[in-house]
Amino acid sequence: MIFIVVKWTPKPEHVEDFPSVVAEFTEATRNEPGNLFFEWSRSVDDPGEYVLVEGFRDGDAGGEHVNSEHFKKFVAMAPSVLASTPLIISDSVGADGWGEMGEITV
């Protein structure tokens, strides 16, 4: 699985409406056959920052994502709503989705 975490800082005037700004892109990405998850969160430490956690089946699925029309459209629009370049961690991991945490059982 390709596991990706991206930190996003919208311009101040887009902090509150950022979820609606990314909604179309989010829905299209979640509908990709190789997408495992695509989850946005707002930072509790910095309410002006959003964190995106993504999972794609493999490198081919990740390649299909970055070559999709909705990705290209989003990339073209993003500088108009972002205050800075997003920060990313992307790596292949030996998992195929979420698992239960071994240290805590509920």
- pTM for this prediction: 0.93
Q: Mean pLDDT in each 10-residue stretch from start to end of the chain (106 residues)?
A: 98 98 98 98 97 97 97 98 98 94 96
SS3 readout for the chain = CEEEEEEECECHHHCCCHHHHCHHHHHHHHCCCCEEEEEEEECCCCCCCEEEEEEECCHHHHHHHHCCHHHHHHHHHHHHCECCCCEEEEEECCCCCCCCCCCCCC
Residue range 1-14, pLDDT digits in tens: 999 999 999 999 99
Range 2-92 classified under CATH 3.30.70.100: yes
pLDDT of residue 42: 98
